[in-house]
């Protein structure tokens, strides 16, 4: 029964190949027959895995009894993680199982939240474990895949809390990729992890300097040059968003960097394009505040909100659980923050449907 729960959980949360899985991936640990073996390192993963798996099953089947048992397993897994994180110098050296356990506890918090900060704490715990392991050990195998997963989670945590992430530093954005080529999506995650520190360097934390805005805009244009051919995207027709008054405006050229999804969409393209549009939303929203919401900014923002909405729709169609947590949940939170800074969204606005 437990192995069936874990297998179902894995099939729902391990669809994405955004971590470039050439092997079955770190979630194979969840359905390994040896997970029931009386080995200490297996037992450290057992409770978080069963807690998240049973929470998902109970939520889908409406079984309150299952939710109670899932919480018991969650509490046991939480105690194990707290012991490891509180004693970094102990004989227990963090590895694949410890980082996996932290991510699984974060998944549990999204499925069956115990507190408003539970998800954040577990993602930060996973980051702390990676920092103990070091970037040199995250160049391949399961640790590289886990590093990629934690990076995506930290995009949401870092942007939402406006705090810098160690995973956005030079060592952590270069060393783990010494044996693996970066994709456009990897560069996009680098950008998003560097965005909060850029804000913190400003005199006004809600504003970007013109120089910083120009630099980030140029970076996003470079990302587009990589994203466009690798995911078979198309340029959105400029006329779709432009108006007669846009002619010659300094931001009119940015209308050409709004993507159009190809007829057949794979999950990697959905996530990469959603992250790309999130980057534009972050930059443009700060420009809009400084220019008192001029129409040209509003049109660009609305277009990228629409791209994010389509990403959410595609992920629902693909029935990808990892996409829900790593993308819809973070994007929803960020869009909510931005949208309500301009007032409640109208019902016919794409933002409304994400909130």
Q: Give the residue numbers spanning the domain of 92.
A: 1-181
Q: How buried is 346 (Cβ within 10 angstroms: 0-12 exposed, 13-18 middle, 19+ buried)?
A: exposed
On whether both 173 and 268 belong to a single domain, the answer is: no
Higher pLDDT, 96 or 299: 96
Rounded to 5, what percent of the chain is helix, strand, coil?
75, 0, 25
On whether both 290 and 353 belong to a single domain, the answer is: yes
Instruction: Among 132, 164, 181, give the residue marking a domain's end.
Output: 181
How many domains, the chain? 2
Strands (E) located in the chain: 234-235, 259-260
On whether both 15 and 125 belong to a single domain, the answer is: yes
Name the average pLDDT for the chain. 75
On whether both 46 and 9 belong to a single domain, the answer is: yes
Asked if residue 153 has pLDDT above 60, the reply is yes
**30-50 core/surface letters (b: 16 or more CB in 10 A; e: else):** bbeeebeeeeeebebbbbbbb
On whether both 92 and 165 belong to a single domain, the answer is: yes
Predicted pLDDT at 70? 93
pLDDT band at 24 (very low <50, low <70, confident <90, very high): low
pLDDT band at 38 (very low <50, low <70, confident <90, very high): very low
Instruction: Among 149, 181, 213, give the residue marking a domain's end.
Output: 181
On whether both 152 and 93 belong to a single domain, the answer is: yes
Predicted pLDDT at 353? 41
Nearest residue to 151 via CA among 181, 187, 104, 180: 187
Asked if residue 321 has pLDDT above 60, the reply is no
Q: Within 10 A of 264 (CB to CB), how many other CB atoms are there?
A: 7
On whether both 226 and 81 belong to a single domain, the answer is: no
On whether both 293 and 353 belong to a single domain, the answer is: yes
The pTM of the whole model exceeds 0.85: no
pLDDT band at 135 (very low <50, low <70, confident <90, very high): very high
On whether both 264 and 153 belong to a single domain, the answer is: no
Asked if residue 230 has pLDDT above 50, the reply is yes
On whether both 33 and 165 belong to a single domain, the answer is: yes
- Ranking 63-72, 76-85, 116-125, 281-290 by mean pLDDT, the lowest is 281-290
Predicted pLDDT at 349? 47
On whether both 143 and 204 belong to a single domain, the answer is: no
Instruction: Among 137, 162, 181, give the residue marking a domain's end.
Output: 181
On whether both 334 and 197 belong to a single domain, the answer is: yes
Predicted pLDDT at 168? 93
């Amino acid at each position: 029964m437990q192995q069936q729960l874990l297998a179902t959980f894995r099939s729902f949360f391990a669809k994405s190949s955004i971590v470039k899985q050439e092997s079955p991936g770190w979630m194979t640990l969840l359905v390994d027959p040896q997970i029931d073996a009386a080995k200490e390192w297996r037992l450290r993963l057992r409770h978080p895995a069963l807690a998240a798996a049973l929470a998902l099953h109970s939520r889908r089947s409406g079984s309150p009894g299952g939710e109670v048992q899932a919480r018991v397993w969650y509490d046991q897994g939480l105690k194990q993680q707290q012991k490891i994180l509180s004693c970094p110098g102990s004989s227990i050296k963090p590895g694949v199982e410890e980082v996996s356990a932290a991510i699984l506890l974060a998944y549990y918090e999204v499925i069956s939240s115990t507190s408003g900060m539970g998800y954040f704490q577990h993602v930060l715990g996973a980051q702390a474990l990676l920092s103990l392991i070091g970037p040199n050990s995250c160049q391949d195998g399961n640790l590289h895949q886990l590093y990629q997963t934690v990076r995506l989670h930290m995009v949401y945590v870092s942007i939402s809390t406006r705090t810098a992430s160690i995973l956005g530093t030079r060592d952590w954005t270069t060393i783990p990729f010494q044996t693996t080529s970066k994709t456009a999506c990897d560069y996009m995650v680098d950008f998003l992890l560097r965005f909060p520190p850029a804000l913190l360097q400003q005199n006004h934390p809600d504003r970007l300097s013109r120089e910083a805005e120009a630099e980030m805009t140029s970076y996003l244009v470079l990302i587009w040059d990589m994203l466009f051919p690798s995911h078979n995207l198309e340029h959105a027709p400029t006329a779709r968003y432009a108006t007669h008054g846009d002619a010659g405006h300094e931001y009119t050229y940015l209308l050409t960097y709004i993507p159009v999804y190809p007829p057949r969409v794979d999950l990697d393209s959905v996530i990469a394009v959603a992250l790309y549009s999130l980057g534009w939303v972050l930059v443009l929203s700060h420009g809009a505040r400084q220019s008192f919401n001029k129409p040209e900014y509003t049109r660009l923002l609305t277009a990228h909100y629409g791209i994010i909405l389509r990403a959410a729709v595609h992920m629902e169609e693909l029935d990808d659980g990892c996409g829900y947590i790593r993308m819809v949940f973070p994007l929803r939170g960020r869009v909510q923050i931005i949208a309500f800074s301009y007032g409640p969204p109208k019902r016919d606005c794409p933002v409304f449907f994400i909130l």
